[in-house]
Amino acid sequence: MNKDVIIALDFPTRQETLDFLGQFTGRKPFVKIGMELFYAEGPQVVRDIKAMGHRIFLDLKLHDIPNTVKRAMAVLSRLDVDMVNLHAAGASAMMRAALEGLTRPDGTRPLLIAVTQLTSTDAAALKEELLIDVPMEETVLRYAQNAAKSGLDGVVCSPLEAAGVKAACGPAFLTVTPGIRFADGDAGDQKRIMTPERAGQSGSDYIVVGRPITQAADPAAAYARCVREFLGQ
């Protein structure tokens, strides 16, 4: 199992992103590129960061009809990223089509991770807007099981849900968990948080860490601390 720390590159421009990455002179961190940077700078920023030696989680959360997602995933796969994601709400046919599109001619492909329910969706929205009557936890676990049955590699979830997802979908099914804060850090707008050390013990395979590293006075030192605490090294 390749446990690792993924830094969320939540920057609006290529220049700010490259200035930030320039501070990492040792181990090249696994990084997450989201919609903001991708839509601002396009696919070239992905190629450039890849060429610098970083592994990349391209966090674009695809959700469309199977054929469209399949073709879009084939394009993302050619960018040579290491991990991509989609909404499990697109259902099994879309998830299987995504896997087909992602698989390169040589049989390799990026890891494919599902978003279950967004953490911004609360119980009231689930029931009254999405008309889902079962509790949130049951929805999350069922969507995770749908993803596992469709052949996906894992889900994005809270570190508090990681053990439950592993129990429902098997130990090899990956959990990618944001909501990480140092014990002496600022929670910011994250509510259900865990330290890197506790996340490591709770079954998270990859932790996604943004502000505790990007806003630190010394980001390289904060990253090194995060890796040390998460991997127990």
Q: Active-site residue numbers?
A: 61
Does 210 help bind ligand C5P (rule: CB under 6 A)?
Answer: yes
Does 43 help bind ligand C5P (rule: CB under 6 A)?
Answer: no
User: Residue 219 CB, nearest distance to ligand C5P (Å)?
Assistant: 12
Q: Taking the mean position of all CA atoms in its chain, how far away is CA 170?
A: 19
User: Residue 230 CB, nearest distance to ligand C5P (Å)?
Assistant: 13
Count of residues making up the chain = 233
Does 114 help bind ligand C5P (rule: CB under 6 A)?
Answer: no
CA gap 94, 147 in Å, rounded: 10
Does 31 help bind ligand C5P (rule: CB under 6 A)?
Answer: no
> What are the tokens at 109?
């492909």
Matching residue, tokens 């890796």 = 227
Does 208 help bind ligand C5P (rule: CB under 6 A)?
Answer: yes
Does 45 help bind ligand C5P (rule: CB under 6 A)?
Answer: no
Cα–Cα distances (Å) from 28 to 4, 22, 33, 159, 232, in that order, read 12, 10, 15, 24, 19
User: Residue 33 CB, nearest distance to ligand C5P (Å)?
Assistant: 10
Nearer to ligand C5P, 81 or 97 (CB): 81
- Which of 178, 196, 203, 219 binds ligand C5P (CB under 6 A)? It is 178
Nearer to ligand C5P, 106 or 189 (CB): 189
CA gap 165, 148 in Å, rounded: 10
Measure the CA angle with vertex 170, ends 168 and 171; round to 5°: 125
Does 193 help bind ligand C5P (rule: CB under 6 A)?
Answer: no
CA gap 40, 230 in Å, rounded: 32
CA gap 212, 222 in Å, rounded: 7
- Which of 7, 8, 37, 136 binds ligand C5P (CB under 6 A)? It is 8
Does 190 help bind ligand C5P (rule: CB under 6 A)?
Answer: yes
Does 196 help bind ligand C5P (rule: CB under 6 A)?
Answer: no
**Adjacent-strand bridge partners of 4:** 206
Cα–Cα distances (Å) from 123 to 2, 119, 120, in that order, read 34, 10, 10
Binding segment for ligand C5P among 78-86, 165-173, 203-211, 222-230 (CB under 6 A)? 203-211
Nearer to ligand C5P, 97 or 113 (CB): 113
- The residues binding ligand C5P (CB under 6 A) are 8, 10, 34, 119, 156, 178-179, 190, 208-212
